Chains A and B, each alone.
Chain A
Amino acid sequence: MFVEFKHSLRNYAGQIAGWGFGLALLGVLLVSVYDSFADQMDMYEQLVESFPQEFMAFFGDLGGMATPEGFVAIEFFSYMPLILGIFAIQAGSGLLARDEEEGRLDLVMAHPVSRSGLFVGRFLAFLCALAGILFIAWLGIVGPMNWSSLSLGWGEVARPFLSLYAEMALFGALGVLLSMLLPSRRLASMAAGLLLVASFFLPGFATLNENLETVARFSPLEYYQTQEAFAGLNREWLFGLLAAAAVFALLSWWRFVRRDIRVGGEGGWRLGQMIPWSSRTE
Chain B
Amino acid sequence: MEHVIDIQGLVKWYGSVQALRGVDLKVQRGELLGFLGPNGAGKTTTIRCLLDQIRPQAGSIRVLGLDPQKNPVLVQRQIGYLPGELSLEGTLKVSQLFRYLIQLRGNRTDKAYLKELTRRLELDTSRKIKNLSSGNKQKVGVVQALMHQPTLLILDEPTAGLDPLMQQEVYRLLREAQSRGATVFFSSHILGEVETLADRVAIIRQGVIVEEATPDQLTEMAMRQVHVSFMDPVDLDPLRALPGVHVLAESDGLSAQLRVEGEMDALIKSLAGFPVKDLQTASHSLEDIFLKYYEREEEEA
Contact B87 A280 (CB under 8 A): no
Determine the chain A residues whose CB is within 8 A of the CB of B15 once the complex forms: 268, 280, 282
Q: Mark A102-116, 1 if CB is under 8 A from B, else 0.
A: 111011111111110
Q: Which stretch (B74-82, B111-119, B183-191) binds chain A? A: B74-82
Which of A103, A110, A263, A264 counts the most B-chain CB atoms under 10 A from its CB?
A110
A100 CA / B77 CA spacing, docked (Å):
21
Q: A3-B103, A115-B72 are in contact. Are A110 and B77 (CB under 8 A)?
A: no
Instruction: Name which residue of chain B comes closest to A117, CB basis.
Output: B73
Determine the chain A residues whose CB is within 8 A of the CB of B101 once the complex forms: 107, 111
Determine the chain B residues whose CB is within 8 A of the CB of A45 once the complex forms: none
Q: A3-B100, A3-B104 are in contact. Are A112 and B76 (CB under 8 A)?
A: yes
Determine the chain B residues whose CB is within 8 A of the CB of A114 once the complex forms: 72-73
**What's the least CB distance linking A75 to chain B, in Å?**
36
Determine the chain A residues whose CB is within 8 A of the CB of B44 once the complex forms: 263
A-B interface contact total, Cβ < 8 Å: 79
A116 CA / B64 CA spacing, docked (Å):
22
Q: A113-B73, A263-B48, A279-B57 are in contact. Are A107 and B103 (CB under 8 A)?
A: no
**What's the least CB distance linking B200 to chain A, in Å?**
23
A167 at the interface (CB under 8 A from B): no
Contact B57 A106 (CB under 8 A): no
Contact B53 A103 (CB under 8 A): no
Determine the main DSSP class of A at the interface with B. Answer: loop
Contact A112 B105 (CB under 8 A): yes
Interface residues of A, count at CB 8 A: 25
Determine the chain B residues whose CB is within 8 A of the CB of A282 once the complex forms: 13-15
A281 at the interface (CB under 8 A from B): yes
A263 CA / B13 CA spacing, docked (Å):
15
A269 CA / B48 CA spacing, docked (Å):
20
Q: A103-B87, A115-B72 are in contact. Are A281 and B13 (CB under 8 A)?
A: yes
A260 at the interface (CB under 8 A from B): yes
B86 at the interface (CB under 8 A from A): yes
Q: Mark A79-109, 1 if CB is under 8 A from B, else 0.
A: 0000000000000000000000011101111
Q: A104-B89, A263-B44, A280-B13 are in contact. Are A111 and B105 (CB under 8 A)?
A: yes
Which of A112, A260, A279 counts the most B-chain CB atoms under 10 A from its CB?
A112
B244 at the interface (CB under 8 A from A): no
A217 at the interface (CB under 8 A from B): no
Q: A112-B73, A261-B54 are in contact. Are A107 and B88 (CB under 8 A)?
A: yes
Determine the chain A residues whose CB is within 8 A of the CB of B51 once the complex forms: 106, 109-110
Contact B76 A260 (CB under 8 A): no
**What's the least CB distance linking A254 to chain B, in Å?**
15
A243 CA / B104 CA spacing, docked (Å):
31
Determine the chain A residues whose CB is within 8 A of the CB of B103 once the complex forms: 3, 7
Determine the chain B residues whose CB is within 8 A of the CB of A104 once the complex forms: 87-89
A260 CA / B74 CA spacing, docked (Å):
19
Determine the chain B residues whose CB is within 8 A of the CB of A115 once the complex forms: 72
A193 CA / B44 CA spacing, docked (Å):
35
A-B contact pairs, 7 of them (CB 8 A): A7-B103, A112-B73, A112-B104, A115-B72, A261-B48, A280-B13, A282-B14
